[in-house]
Structure 1
């Protein structure tokens, strides 16, 4: 039976986790990867009295115990965002709800380091709390309103950003539709029907000066920052629309911004976070932090060894 020192909770299609596992193999680490979408092919016994988890995969037995487990890499958001899917069978509903509860209850392992702990992830996924903490730490913020009305004190000569309060993935004509952030005018806001659901309205940073998106990946005290560019310039609107046509250039953050990023992770109880900033007219503005943010695209796109630093953290 293999004693597990590093437990990885992910899904079978997560490329970032693949990087982690390949690196742990190189280090001869005693790890176990369990995928949330493959639990039905595992045999699982969790002994609550002993705080011991036995997992059998393809006949191989693994033991996860409080005394031996050093760390858990928890690669999953907390909120379920697939409620739009139609015609989910009773068996599928049972699979999702009960295994999700099982994963939450793995927090029974309290001694190991979690990257990130589910409770910290849950708290950190609240965007308004992020903004509150970021402001208290001294970050510059765009003016931000959460509304379901267009009766706002807005400047008609300015442009604004409209975006969802939480990640919004919808079902439209049997296809998935993702809601991006959009640059809008005051007239568009005034003519919009907003009563149905809350929407985030922020003043648009970069109207009078070029704006550049900055992504910062933080693993404990280590930071990797890139500027996101197209044809050497910043991108208007949501850069994710242009993901196949952009480049990532390493960026040296000012020391005071580095300190604020580290302090924000500590304030939120995180070991890992992906922070989005906007650079404009020599200033950096905080947009959000994602406790389960994607980073695998930066390994190839910017040659950043992020997976090595995550493995360093997991190995302690």
Structure 2
């Protein structure tokens, strides 16, 4: 029985269970590695001796061999080393966490089987600038964009385009008194030019504001495309960034069809990155022009999966992992003939 390793954490949502159900139906076994339980509860060991590499994962429930797995789904790596700070001298904590991360990510990078996501892939896809350059090169329409920490450059861009949105390039939140305050996309106009002087300390991405007929979330798994749309303009809070009112809009998404040329270019985008999963944000203008905004290497899909008959996004992920659907080969080494 082929074994599929899922890298996640104890607080992940029910999408793990849905994908696991389909993996079971495909006749494969799931090994779940909760990284927040590493290293205090999970023990990971890799050994080379007698000419062979072996890797074992020992969880509170079972000891698993990982050197003979068939595929990996690198889903999430949240809260690595949870609880460790309370267990050791503070002066050693930073060094220990560095070793823990290096060991875990080194293991994930070196696995010589098919992997749906890797730390290095996620890091590459963190570059919004590269995303936009590749999207533009393959023919996807993108907004006018400026990425800078130069206040004068930003001011000139805003004056030229008048309606501009500013956004961070990473998932960004500010914590005050234990409360998470997510930094959403916001409109910046000429009235706020003087506030841009602090840009010197932290670069931002500015884009010409695209009027929205609708917004799309397109989940691509292998060669399968699942497109959904929402009229984000029905909510005042969501007009600029639908995530601001995401909870109230969660049941307002509906399946949609993409133009064939847009579908082809999105698949080409995943070909360039050599990945089999991407959650893509698109704005459709009143003139029916499709603007690529970004691709998320591990973007959420569970709320859209619930809108498909039989959780088809989860099934597609399971089929790719179990080699039941076309996928882009990404083993570390070429297999011996």
| TM interval, short-chain normalised | 0.7 to 0.9
Aligned pair partner of 1:307 in 298, 309, 314: 314
Does 1:242 find its partner at 2:245? yes
State the Cα distance separating 1:233 from its structure 2 match.
Answer: 7.9
Q: Is the 8 A contact 1:165 1:199 kept in 2?
A: yes
State the Cα distance separating 1:154 from its structure 2 match.
Answer: 3.3
Structure 2 partner of 1:42: 42
Structure 2 unaligned runs (5+)?
Answer: 81-88, 324-337
Does 1:61 find its partner at 2:63? yes
Instruction: Give the number of the structure whose residues are more often strand, by fraction.
Output: 1
Task: Identify which range, 288-297 or 229-238, moves more after superposition.
Answer: 229-238
- Flag the 1:158–1:119 CA change in 2: closer, same or farther, 3 A: same
User: TM-score, with normalisation over the residues of structure 1?
Assistant: 0.86
Give aligned pairs, total.
301
Structure 2: distance between partners of 1:42 and 1:242: 38
Instruction: Give the number of the structure whose residues are more often helix, by fraction.
Output: 2
- Flag the 1:284–1:7 CA change in 2: closer, same or farther, 3 A: same
Does 1:253 find its partner at 2:258? yes
User: TM-score, with normalisation over the residues of structure 2?
Assistant: 0.81
State the Cα distance separating 1:153 from its structure 2 match.
Answer: 3.8
Structure 1 partner of 2:334: none
Q: Is the 8 A contact 2:6 2:74 kept in 1?
A: yes
Structure 2: distance between partners of 1:230 and 1:285: 15
State the Cα distance separating 1:13 from its structure 2 match.
Answer: 1.2
Structure 1 partner of 2:30: 31
- Flag the 1:96–1:25 CA change in 2: closer, same or farther, 3 A: farther
Structure 1: distance between partners of 2:187 and 2:111: 45
State the Cα distance separating 1:94 from its structure 2 match.
Answer: 5.0
Structure 2: distance between partners of 1:141 and 1:77: 30
State the Cα distance separating 1:61 from its structure 2 match.
Answer: 2.0
State the Cα distance separating 1:103 from its structure 2 match.
Answer: 2.2
Structure 2 partner of 1:298: 304
State the Cα distance separating 1:26 from its structure 2 match.
Answer: 4.1
Aligned pair partner of 1:13 in 2, 11, 34: 11
Q: Is the 8 A contact 2:7 2:73 kept in 1?
A: yes
Give deviations 1:127-178, integer Å, cap 9, x for gaps.
1000010000101010100122143143467311111122212222332221
- Flag the 1:197–1:286 CA change in 2: closer, same or farther, 3 A: same
Structure 2: distance between partners of 1:130 and 1:230: 24
1:40-119 paired onto structure 2 within 5 Å: 40-49=40-49, 50-65=52-67, 68-76=68-76, 89=90, 93-94=94-95, 96-106=97-107, 107-110=109-112, 112-119=113-120
Structure 2: distance between partners of 1:152 and 1:34: 49
RMSD: 2.6
State the Cα distance separating 1:119 from its structure 2 match.
Answer: 2.2
Structure 2: distance between partners of 1:17 and 1:189: 45
Structure 2: distance between partners of 1:47 and 1:162: 48
Structure 1: distance between partners of 2:119 and 2:101: 11
Structure 1 unaligned runs (5+)?
Answer: 81-87
Q: Is the 8 A contact 1:4 1:64 kept in 2?
A: no
Q: Is the 8 A contact 2:9 2:77 kept in 1?
A: no
- Flag the 1:43–1:233 CA change in 2: closer, same or farther, 3 A: closer
Q: SS in structure 2 opposite 1:51?
A: strand
Q: SS in structure 2 opposite 1:152?
A: helix
Structure 2: distance between partners of 1:130 and 1:24: 31
Give deviations 1:277-306, integer Å, cap 9, x for gaps.
100021100111111111112122555521
